[in-house]
Chains A and B, each alone.
Chain A
Amino acid sequence: MSGARLGRVLALAAASSLALAACAGGGGDSGGGDAATVKIGFMGDLTGENSAIVIPPYNGAKMAIDEYNATNPKVKIDLIKYDSQGKSDQATSLITKAIGSDKIVALIGPAFSGESKAIGGTLEESKIPNISPSATNSGLASNGWKYWHRVVANDNDQGPDVADFLVKAKAPKKAFVLSDDQEYSVGLAEAVAKKFTEKGVQVETDKFSKDASDYSSTVTKVKSANPDVIFFGGYYAQGGRLLKQLRDNDVKTLFASGDGSLDAQLVSGAGEQAAEGAVIACPCNIPSAEATGESKKFFDNYKKSAGSDPAIYSTEGYDAATAFIKAVQDGKTTSEDINNFLTSVSFTGISKPIKFKANGEPENNSIFVYQVKGGVLKLLGPSADAKLEG
């Protein structure tokens, strides 16, 4: 690891001395500060329990940056990955290293809401512009952070939209809203519960620790409440186990969840039979083989570079990287310039039109609904007009 890093530093030194030599003839005045490479970090859970949500956006970001570097630009971008395993404490020490010794100028991520909350203050103080491809907790936007951005709709869009969708599809009288105790999970579950209550649906709730593996007390509660629909706020690792134990105890109620559960491992964790029919909402539209136009091009290129089909937030990762690339192309290579550039950036991304509000939220906030059919996640459409199958 350190050998590779040393190599990279040497390469960088060589590159910048070449650049210096090149501009020496023209009476270069900017000195050593004018590097030919800028470093951008990517932070998220790359090897941990819920890494399946973070590897696709990483692949997307890497693809965007590789494509850009292949055009032989004046200033190349070096993407450095930081594996926080989704843990706030690891994110805290990694960001110190990223800013202090690696000197990144911008960050893609952090991927999850908990770690975003933990290091948002540090990024703000160090003035490092950051774009998260996947952190959806609604509270993140209300910290007054100027350097923080994201390219996904938040849980206050996702929660009510999925609740509306479920009310329309199932006309439930009683809903059971579950979550584990993580930042993202609790926020999403609360948003869903609030909307259900507004719509006159009776709501019961329960929570469990994210490290629990036996959910018997939760299952007992759900069973005795006999709801018409179950919503789980949380990630697929916990969601799969929960869904399996619900079905094993003969709870056949429709199971719905949010973007954190949108992965094939929800199906493998719960078992194909148990997962069948589960509904999952996501502020993401994942390109499929049947896509057309730009999405199709993305699908093919992603498959080539990452070796798998695009999955959750791969387009968001690509778009977040693209926003930074556009800044660099525009000659903005310092953190401050890049952040100013982001306030006015506007382009048609693969995932959605990319444009930020003053608080860092994306302008576009559409939510899509997926359903497990025959063991695979199938897109039903935008939440406003999707129809449940079966």
Chain B
Amino acid sequence: MIWNETKECMSRDEIAFLQGKRLHTQISRVYHNVEFYRKKMQEMGLEPADIQTIDDIVKLPFTTYEDLRENYPYGLLAVPREEIVRVQASSGTTGKPKLLCYTRHDIDVWSECVTRAMAMAGITRNDIIQVGYGYGLFTGGLGAHYGAENLGAMVIPMSTGNTKKLIDMMIDCEVTAIACTPSYLLHVAEALEQQGLLDRIKLKYAICGAEPWTDEMRKQMERRLNIKAFDIYGLTEIMGPGVACDCEHKKGLHIYEDHFYPEIINPDTLEQIPHGELGELCITTLTKEGMPLIRYRTRDLTSLEYGKCECGRTLARIQRFRGRSDDMLVIRGVNVFPSQVEHALLTVAGTTPNYFITVDRVNNTDTFDVAIEVEERFFSDEIKQLEKLRSDVEAAINQTVGIKAKVKLVEPNTLPHSEGKTKHVEDKRRLS
């Protein structure tokens, strides 16, 4: 069903008008309340009055994750701190996380967007939803939770890490919908098959996100679990899950344009790219109060399709993601930058040895392997010292990145040596 027909099925003219109005208001607010934006606009000779229609957005400066890091924790707040009722965070490239602040209204908008996504999948207030995303600073758990409650469904806040319990409750409580990462759902499917419990579940829908996945994975989980699976997109900086979601027609992810204005830009020239062409997705939050982001560069490479969908929605559709314009990897739903691994190596070894990251997907679970060349300065004639080096590096990576890597010690000169910007990474998952 369409949860908010007024907003999801407007004509393109109505959408543009609403976006222009909201952009003007948003720019006025950030100009007056956020020094960071005011300075940037003043440097460009811009005033809020220069932004009247949505097409004026090209005059505005971009915002990047470096800006978020440099303004940690409260530098980009557009309201008094007292108005903030929640923070969420995502790991940064090094050191400090990116902190995102929500007002009560922001939480309401977020819930509404997730509700729209769940309704789009066919989930109703009669459903029983298990949320299998992590609860905490990560936006997945609480984001899906609030959306499902707002829908009126019954929520089981499973969080992550206990598949047996999840399966027990899935059967006992007659769960009909689940929200989790696609790779985790396939893991659950496998466990159900192995234990011969497939005919005891009542699952009908899955809303999966937080990591890239393929049509093949979707077909596989739909066939194995006899469900309908939907792709939900979001990023912590913008809001969390629920920025966009696909409908049963699978024509791309409908982005809620009344709250988020999407643009596709050329990551090198930073110019807007014509509709339908591949480039970097930028998003402007049109209604966010706590920490509005103007032309935020997501680094996700994709294209946008306009034109009414068979489902009746007129919202722009984000097409298949084709990778990143930076070197970030999404491993088991967690954002990982090679520079974080470098940082971890530095803390253990003193300097950074030559390393190589290999990411793959084996049995629907991401593998994260880090090979390090053993140099003389941390070589030892004792196995236990070398094993200690290996486990120290694993611990440091886990601490910096937030997920476990498998570290392997290799002979010198066996890994590709970086020249200039040569990457230390191979992603074998072929997800884009």
Partners in one complex: no
